[in-house]
Amino acid sequence: MAEPRPTPPPPASLLARVASLLRRTPPTLGQRGERAAARHLKRAGYRVLARNLHLANAEADIVALTPDRRTVVVVEVKTRLLSTAHPPPEASITARKQAALVRLAQAIASRTRRRRPPGSAPRGIRIDVIGVDWPGADAPRGSAPAIRHHVGAVGQRA
C-alpha cells in the first residue's frame, strides 16, 4: 500500500500575508482620527499629497492641496475620545508644536518653489488644524466622529 503524499506547503507569499494579518495591531485612536480627517478633506475636494510627512525635524499628519489647487496645506490632526469633561483636542496644540509646524511649512514652501515649472503660478501655503472627537464605547453603534476643520489656524495674525 502506497503512503499518502504530504500536502505541499502553501506559497511563501500566502504564508507571509497570513502572518502579517496575525501580527497586525488595531489602529491607534490617533491613526483613526487621521484617516477620518483625510476622508473629510477628500470629500471637501482637497487632494491629499502625503500622510505622516517628516521634514525639518517636524511631522505633518497630512499635506494636501486645496480644491482650487493653489495652496498647499499642512494639516495637524488632534483626536480624543468624545467627552464633555475635556477641552476639544485641537486646544492641546502647544506653542512648540506650532513652531515646528511653521518650520515644516517653510521647508515645504522652499521645496515647492524650487520644483515649480518656469512660468507657473506660485503656490501659497497654510497650516490648518483638524479636531476629531471619536465616539466612545457608550456611543450608539456606527456613530461617526465629529470633525472640526480650522482653516489657517496656525501662523495667522489676528
Q: What is the pTM of this model?
A: 0.77
How does the average pLDDT of the chain come out, rounded? 84
Class of domain 29-154: alpha beta
pLDDT at site 158: 36
pLDDT at site 16: 73
Residue 11 Cα distances to 16, 21, 22, angstroms: 9, 16, 17
Reference 80, options 137, 19, 33; nearest CA is 33
If one counts every other C-beta atom within 10 angstroms of the C-beta of residue 78, the result is: 22
pLDDT at site 137: 74
Look at residue 119 and tell me whether its pLDDT is greater than 80. Answer: no
CB-based contacts of 108, cutoff 8 Å, min separation 6: 55, 60, 63, 72, 74, 125
- How do the domains of the chain map onto residue ranges? 29-154
List pLDDT tens digits, range 72-98.
999 999 999 886 667 888 888 999 999
Mean pLDDT over 33-61 rounds to: 95
